Structure 1
Amino acid sequence: MATEKHFKYVVLGGGVSGGYAAREFVKQGAQPGELAIISKEAVAPYERPALSKAYLFPQNPARLPGFHVCVGSGGERLLPEWYSEKGIELILNTEIVKADLASKTLTSAAGATFTYEILLIATGSSVIKLSDFGTQGADSNNILYLREVDDADKLYAAIQAKKGGKAVVVGGGYIGLELSAVLKMNNLDVTMVFPEPWCMPRLFTAEIAAFYESYYTNKGVKIVKGTVAVGFDADANGDVTAVKLKDGSVL
């Protein structure tokens, strides 16, 4: 049977919140051995926003350990050694599949168990995939998502493999705008598609959005508004070749 580990505090999730929480636990006097951070990712907590920006730059792209937390707030960069120096157990590559709150026990996919006195759940969100909705052809190759460093590595590799090629960005929020910009910096032919009447409607007025959209258009990004992707065509290798839109057009 796998050994059970006990901690006073467990942070479930090794993202931005988990990393900043670790810094605060230390500031508040948490003792060595009291705190564990459990993450399914393979790396110590990092500043996730870098993934849609400098990580994909054509020249001198950002790489870890350059953007571990807490550099996003101008704080100290917490390298993996920092956690061990502070007596914090950083448990990586570990996905928790069961949480029994009554017995204060967490169980990993590999069957390891962890008990705690206080649990902080900081798992963040997961990507919504078009395949989750059964969108036709959504499991074709080169349909990529961005949430974790692994996703960014796949996207970076695709950019290198498709130099001068065409990219379609589905979504016109922060990540859609940032990826459209960085794909353009990599000299791809970029089209951004989103269902709203203008980009980032929850944050931008029509006037602010018009400014950004004209800025992007002047940089060569094509913008298609008011429609969504409903299907994808692929070639014999399973690589995506076309994006079918609800308005009947095909990119």
Structure 2
Amino acid sequence: MAEKHFKYVILGGGVAAGYAAREFAKHGLNPGELAIISKEAVAPYERPTLSKAYLFPQGAARLPGFHVCVGSGGERLLPEWYSEKGIELILSTEIVKADLASKTLTSAAGAIFTYDILIIATGSTVINLSDFGTPGADANNIFYLREIDDADKLVAAIQAKKNGKAVIVGGGYIGLELSAVMKINNFDVTMVYPEPWCMPRLFTPEIAAFYESYYANKGVKIDKGTLVTSVKLKDGRVLDADIVIVGVGGRPLTKLFKGQAEEEKGGIKTDAFFQTSVGGVYAVGDVATFPLKLYNETRRVEHVDHARKSAEQAVKAIKAIEGGKVTDDYDYLPYFYSRSFDLSWQFYGDNVGETVIFGDNDPASSKPKFGSYWIKEGKLLGAFLEGGSPEENTAIAKLARLQPAVPDLEQLTKEGLTFASKI
């Protein structure tokens, strides 16, 4: 096969790839300079839709409706947009070898691509039950959710097993969102997870208690503190289910670059411009371990917001270097959110230190609205809000960024959201 050369190559076709492409286009591109190589068969899309509206029984989201960059309120980049900008979309193409020294990528079919500058945007792969050596992990009714192909298989199963039983393995983002959407599809739903409460990496026991009770009121059964072994529970009870969906996290896809680029904390180490230890190679999104300026430490962040912003930062840095200019360091405020049933929460900052909870966190309320602050060494570092308005969510984001002093926790509890509006 003939070798193809590009000035810029984005490896990966997820959210980060789409946002990077848009940033390149803003700065001006010559036709044929940029290629996106993706093993998926479709142009970059907003991946979070797959665990939400894509699975709705009515009015479900479908492509081309959620191509990037609609997730952040931007223009929808249809496949034609890439053609118009002279960007080559190389789809259904899996890269099996990357040689960073010779700037060469090789596909499963033997195609060779060379580049001047590479952006690694390979994202994560789901952790599979077979990774734990679970017998029966390859059963036909076990599903995972990462790509649109996975979602299509799940949609087909939902339609084939109407009003059936679903078991969701995992109590994190995917577990909570999928449990809600399966209940909306009128399934008998059970969530199973080993941790003592849901979303343990972010939620406090008090926050988690609200969501667990809310879900129970919606008819979702929760079996926590137990593991799935051989598609059975640890205590021997068999998982009686038409559909089992596993959402126990992901792992960054870095194996192509092992031993070639410096790694840290499970990801590819980068600077504040997402440049790796290899000149001309950048890593963005889930795979990047980067300096988090706000907390003066390196972190790896798995979230769509960071995928979008890190991709834009890398391209700004690339174009600044070409123009002999300097761009600002990446100054990211950690942000997480989720929507399920009639609920919608947002979190900003760092969930460390003591916590206070405020507002109406009664799961039986018609419109619950409550929040939590995290305080460490007298400073407010993190803020969570369920049911907030756009203005209120903006206010708690500012709090987490400014890190105001908090002299009195009791007073902070009383003030609640009012504290945010004062700062």
2:26 pairs with 1:27: yes
Q: Which region of structure 1 is more displaced relative to structure 2, 19-28 or 76-85?
A: 19-28
Shift of 1:44: 0.1
The code of the aligned residue for 2:4 comes to: K
Residue-by-residue CA offset, 1:110-161 (whole Å, 9 max, x unaligned):
0000000000000000111112332111111110000000000000000111
- 2-side partners of 1:134 and 1:201: how far apart? 24
Residue 208 of structure 1 is matched in structure 2 by 207
Percent pairwise identity: 84
One-letter amino acid of the counterpart of residue 150, structure 1: D
Aligned equivalent of 1:230: 229
Q: Indicate the residue corresponding to 1:139 in structure 2.
A: 138
Equivalent position SS for 1:203: coil
Structure 1: stretches of 5+ with no match in the other structure: 233-243
Deviation by residue 1:62-95 (Cα, 9 ceiling, x = unmatched): 0000000000000000000000000000000000
1:14 aligned partner? 13
SS in 2 for 1:126: strand
1:179 to partner: Cα distance:
0.4
Paired residues for 1:107-126 under 5 Å: 107-126=106-125
What displacement does 1:29 show?
Answer: 2.0
Aligned residue number for residue 37 of structure 1? 36
**1:91-240 paired onto structure 2 within 5 Å:** 91-232=90-231
Letter in 2 for 1:97: V
Q: Moved runs in structure 1, 4+ residues, more than 4 A?
A: none
Residue 91 of structure 2 aligns to which amino acid in structure 1?
L
How many residues are matched?
239
Q: Tell me the residue number matched to 1:247.
A: 235
Secondary structure, aligned partner of 2:117: strand
Larger radius of gyration: 2
Contact 2:43 2:79 in 1 (8 A): yes
Provide the C-alpha distance between the structure 1 equivalents of 2:137 and 2:153, rounded to a whole number of angstroms. Answer: 17
The amino acid of 1:246's aligned partner reads K
Give the corresponding residue for 1:237. Answer: none
Distance 2:61 2:170 in 1: 24
Amino acid at match of 1:141: N
How far apart are residue 31 of structure 1 and its match? 2.1
Once residues 210 and 249 of structure 1 are traced to their aligned partners in structure 2, the CA distance between those partners, rounded to angstroms, is: 25
TM-score with structure 2 setting the length = 0.56
Q: Which amino acid aligns with 1:31?
A: N
Letter in 2 for 1:33: G
Provide structure 2 residue ranges, at least 5 long, that are not aligned to the other structure. 240-423
Deviation at 1:247, TM superposition (A): 2.9
Residue identity matched to 1:204: F
Post-superposition offset of 1:198: 0.4
- State the distance in 2 between where 1:107 and 1:84 align: 23
Q: Which residue of 2 aligns with 1:236?
A: none
Whole-angstrom CA distance in 2 between matches of 1:102 and 1:203: 39
Q: Deviations over 1:97-116 (max 9, x none)?
A: 00111110100000000000
Distance 1:228 1:159 in 2: 24
Counterpart CA distance in 2 for 1:123 and 1:247 is: 38
Give the secondary-structure state (helix, strand or coil) at the position aligned to 1:227. Answer: coil
Question: Which amino acid in structure 2 is aligned with residue 122 of structure 1?
Answer: A
Distance of 1:210 and 1:217 partners within structure 2: 10
SS of 1:210's partner is helix
